[in-house]
Structure 1
């Protein structure tokens, strides 16, 4: 099973791993900026300095392998696949052809266009460089207007807008107060003005959402209208940097093994919803598994599931809704509306599903049958019935599981660092011994064996 998103992994990349303050501003010309060293924060002094800074990034995007890239001055930071801290490299090492800081960056994901697919575009003044597989593509650098007709040079930021969100393959270029919408198929540019958004130092897409970075603040925006939802702008340090005493950081300089997708720390729940999104829950964090091209990163629970905190014990989806079980309570969110919690929740699990608690839960695609696992038994609940009641317990070939999930590939039971796969519910219930264990980190998160 090849499980490949959002939102936005600034928590790791913005906890920059740099020993200097974030005071660099976007250069006026491609040759601006100055070299400076970069090392991961090694003590509280580095983190305090980072949290007190008012600087900005020059550009941000995803790399071709799904990690986050942030550019500032003569360096680029890449989110680490092996832990919560990023690592930095000099631009001269990563992209020796550039010869100066990046003003905007962009990654294109176009499977039907192999020449452009997974290309990384870096902008400096009137020119653009395109890299594939770490190598400069033939014919580059080129004038920005030659590669993207109608787009001016000197853009401040750029971000790809996917067809499902923009109605077609589009790139949004930001320059001052003007946004240039470039249609990749028609090769046509339309300028727009979005006064409610303002200039962007950098822009990025993360798990179907779009963000404009402005210094240490950010705004989420609608890629069709530029509209910003209530509550923005917000401070990056309250949401994405583990700053002591601020926002979600609350004194934690790192999520440690809990936030490291490759660690052997058990997951407490997994969820495959009706839209194909797959989430894993551990501690107070959630991971997005299905969007491999956007990387696999942890995110504080409330950032994806507004109003929710603590730990998730079990999760499942049915009829356009996701159910998150915490102890004796269950919260229900609308899957297609930005995970908006349904009014009246949380409610007691006993009233909602007819059981006092659950270690794991799963539904299979297209089915109203819910399977609730407690200890070494599973109980069936028909979700269409009112009131809902749990059937008699049926033994499982496991004495305990941490989480469960069902997809078109079968039923997956998770325990510790391993999962056990069964082709169907019937084969799970009829099994006399457990299926062979397989690595969660390797098969679901693409970690090295």
Structure 2
């Protein structure tokens, strides 16, 4: 992860101040508790949780059990953290994308980090942390990605690891209308929430602060409450309740079935427990599987710049370079799609998934709500290109800030303007490839994918008879972030 900058400047956020004169007040609420030495790791779980690394289990020194399998003997440090009621005081990402877990006076940085004292990194805080979050505020670049640590009545704000001038401040001054002491807090992103803001939790009560206006509204969420910690990760919102956790919708407060679940089965490495039972990666869906010469059937880049890669019943998603690629079951976000996706594209905030001769259109927040009346026949939705029926589509793509849709089948490619509606017909264009598995167009260019190979063009206008096809590059290293 990147180093810390030593520069630190004050800023002001619309709706609440990020800088006022220095305060000498000290926290009035202390809930200090000491945690045993431990290491926290994350386990990626198909359909439920995060595809982060899971550390190798400790070697067993116990004699084999009656069934012939070796018994797993817990290290003394694991006895506490693997109990049902073990949990976090606060969880947040830092500006470089490292997950940080706070408990008592200790903090663990990343899935493989060793236990450290909070005051070793944040000496100004000097103890435990009640709540923490990384602010998302694109309209205020100097405030965007600042890390907020809340303890009692006070809040400390860090920019690239350095305490900002004028802090600590009272929470009541920084966030007017938000009570203390707080149990948890988390940022809320536009497109996932109705507006850019912050969620605050205290007991059974939840408040949403809208950054643009500074207004505070209380949320009535019967299924969400008593959050001892909270974190947003890759568009998913998690509330930790002691030794358990649940995922919830940040607008409605709805919780999917099967929650809450035990932390020790998903986020805490406990030998003999959880999915994968000590495998370095989730054995059914390893994160680095994308680097093992998989053939991807479709690619997609949405309006926010997220990239999706589809293979079989799974898809990989990358939000930003610092977040990395992570895998999920397709049914986790698009439950109506049963099976592999043949092609995909996005336009005007909607996601189009093509499967066989049918198309599914998803809209709403983050593009995960099926539009009424779908799926329907692709030919009914887009019309047929000439005398060819749209029964088999190899790839589709749109480019940023363009309404033109490109469709590839075999050695043929067509284009039509979606903004023109049904009156615009397909036009065939020259296509220099016999076949592709997928296509992706981003601000960086057009990528045509065939097996493990990637062909990069500046844009679709470079697909001309007089042009020289580019040399193939490795899909894994060029696009998927693999080392080799």
User: Normalised by the size of structure 2, how large is the TM-score?
Assistant: 0.66
**Matched-pair contact (CA < 8 Å) for 2:84–2:264:** no
**Matched-pair contact (CA < 8 Å) for 2:456–2:470:** yes
Work out whether 1:218 is the aligned partner of 2:218.
no
Work out whether 1:95 is the aligned partner of 2:127.
no
1:270 positional shift: 0.7
Distance 2:197 2:289 in 1: 36
**Matched-pair contact (CA < 8 Å) for 2:238–2:245:** no
Distance 1:111 1:245 in 2: 38
1:269 positional shift: 1.9
Residue 116 of structure 1: which of 136, 143, 167 is its match? 143
Distance 1:427 1:408 in 2: 15
1:181 positional shift: 3.6
Query: Unaligned stretches of 5+ in structure 2?
Result: 1-28, 41-53, 59-71, 268-272
Work out whether 1:298 is the aligned partner of 2:327.
yes
Residue 340 of structure 1: which of 369, 376, 388 is its match? 369
Distance 2:413 2:83 in 1: 52
**Matched-pair contact (CA < 8 Å) for 1:128–1:143:** yes
Structure label with greater radius of gyration: 2
Query: Unaligned stretches of 5+ in structure 1?
Result: 1-27, 79-85
Residue in 2 that maps onto 1:412: 447
Residue in 2 that maps onto 1:32: 33
Matches within 5 A, 1:311-390: 311-317=340-346, 321-326=350-355, 328=356, 330-336=358-364, 338-341=367-370, 354-364=389-399, 366-367=402-403, 369-374=405-410, 377-380=411-414
Q: Figure out how many residues of one structure are paired with residues of the other and give that number.
A: 402
1:156 positional shift: 0.9
**Matched-pair contact (CA < 8 Å) for 2:155–2:167:** yes
Matches within 5 A, 1:150-299: 150-162=177-189, 169-184=196-211, 193-206=220-233, 210-214=237-241, 215-223=243-251, 227-228=253-254, 231=257, 233-235=259-261, 243-244=274-275, 252=283, 254-258=285-289, 265=294, 267-273=296-302, 277-291=306-320, 296-299=325-328
The one-character-per-residue Cα deviations of 1:346-372 (angstroms, maximum 9, x if unpaired) are 678799862443443324464454422
**Matched-pair contact (CA < 8 Å) for 1:306–1:339:** no
Distance 1:315 1:166 in 2: 25
Distance 2:427 2:346 in 1: 19
1:120 positional shift: 0.9
Distance 1:218 1:187 in 2: 28
Distance 2:376 2:142 in 1: 52
The one-character-per-residue Cα deviations of 1:8-27 (angstroms, maximum 9, x if unpaired) are xxxxxxxxxxxxxxxxxxxx
CA 1:87–1:112 in structure 2 vs 1: closer, same or farther (change >3 Å)?
same
Distance 2:82 2:406 in 1: 45
**Matched-pair contact (CA < 8 Å) for 1:160–1:171:** yes
Residue in 1 that maps onto 2:95: 64
**Matched-pair contact (CA < 8 Å) for 1:121–1:129:** yes
